Structure 1
Amino acid sequence: MSITITLIGGPTALIEIDGFRLLTDPTFDAPGFYQLPHVKLQKLDGPAMTVDAIGEVDAVLLSHDQHSDNLDNAGRDFLARAKRVLTTEAGAKRLGAPAEGFAPWATTELQGKNGRSIKVTATPARHGPAGIEPLAGDVIGFVLSSDHQPPVYVSGDTVWFDGVAEVARRFKCGLVLPFAGAAQTRGPFHLTMDTNDTIETARAFPEALIIPLHTDG
């Protein structure tokens, strides 16, 4: 596979694939406390790369905008530097241009300078147990498809559920990046994949290399 993954911290990774440079959920703030509507987060580690070191990207793959551990202050500033920002429909309305909103299974295409293109498919995600949607808000993942290598799946903030299983049925992925930190706030449940969820995901994609994101910091 002609692909490089640079882990930057939290849910943020730089994916260089087939001549394209894509950044997942940008978080570049320094360690500290950050207030969400219902909980206070403490960021423990800073990013492995600065915003300036990232350079130009073809698109930001933003799973959701409403939680600062997936899009912090510096990450919001970074969005203006991206050629395209792909996110949820609700998130695109909140963020405005250049954000573009996608429902699960909607697709778009990125065009490269080398004449190549890459197809991006939004995938279902559920940010916690069934029924959590009114509280947690909309989230999507992404599948990257090209003619030159197996698809790449970025789960976004989700637990293992039928939507992830459906991604596995539709795409024979060669690389899977699950958001696997077992995030937990006030309830006796997790909001992102725990170990068991990640194992189920790996079983669903038996030919894929698994690189967990959003597991620390």
Structure 2
Amino acid sequence: MNASQIRLTYIGGPTVLIEIGSLRFLTDPTFDAAGGDYDIGVAVLHKTQPPALSPAALGAIDAVLLSHDHHADNLDTNGRKFLPAAKAVLTTASGAERLQLPNTRGLTPWNSVPVSDAATGFEVRATATPARHGPEGIEPVIGDV
């Protein structure tokens, strides 16, 4: 594999299409139109820009890499509607419990899963790395990422 086989397409906010060889990943899908407000408890966020691509324009997605499902700035209404179309959704264990989708897998920190293209045999391992979302001490309030 060389760098020419890796392509990143910025869609907006936390949403990026990552193409590695024949595999296609999507981070934190946010596809709502501009103008919406998202109350995240401690603030209200206002979406100022639409996504650069619509879900219909994306094509097949091998795996959604969902950092967390419980804030609309990382998984908005249309992003949530998109999840069943992906072959797999990889997220936190608590996120998988909340989503209750058959294609969703909850990962604990440092757990890895293969994402592969059956036609080519190409494989990438996705590993859940622990992260802190916000200042130290807010973890019980903000939840897993």
Unpaired stretches in structure 1, ≥5 consecutive residues:
140-217
Secondary structure of residue in 1 paired with 2:57: helix
Corresponding residue to 1:23 among 23, 26, 34: 26
User: Which amino acid in the other structure matches residue 13 of structure 1?
Assistant: V
Give me the whole-angstrom Cα distance separating, in 1, the residues matched to 2:60 and 2:116: 15
Query: 1:110 aligned to 2:115?
Result: yes
**CA-CA distance at 1:111 after TM superposition:** 1.7
TM-score (norm 1): 0.62
Which segments of structure 1 move beyond 3 Å, counting only runs of 4 or more? none
**CA-CA distance at 1:55 after TM superposition:** 1.1
Query: 1:134 aligned to 2:137?
Result: no
Query: 1:6 aligned to 2:12?
Result: no
Query: 1:75 aligned to 2:79?
Result: yes
Please provide the CA RMSD for this pair.
Answer: 1.0
Query: 1:99 aligned to 2:93?
Result: no
Other-structure match for 1:192: none
Other-structure match for 1:208: none
Q: Which has the higher contact order (CA 8 A, sep 6+)?
A: 2
Unpaired stretches in structure 2, ≥5 consecutive residues:
none
User: Which amino acid in the other structure matches residue 123 of structure 1?
Assistant: T
User: Which amino acid in the other structure matches residue 9 of structure 1?
Assistant: G
User: Which amino acid in the other structure matches residue 25 of structure 2?
Assistant: L
**CA-CA distance at 1:103 after TM superposition:** 1.1
TM-score (norm 2): 0.92
**CA-CA distance at 1:131 after TM superposition:** 1.2
Give me the whole-angstrom Cα distance separating, in 1, the residues matched to 2:43 and 2:108: 27
Give me the whole-angstrom Cα distance separating, in 2, the residues matched to 1:29 and 1:135: 25
Q: How many residues align?
A: 139
**CA-CA distance at 1:50 after TM superposition:** 0.7
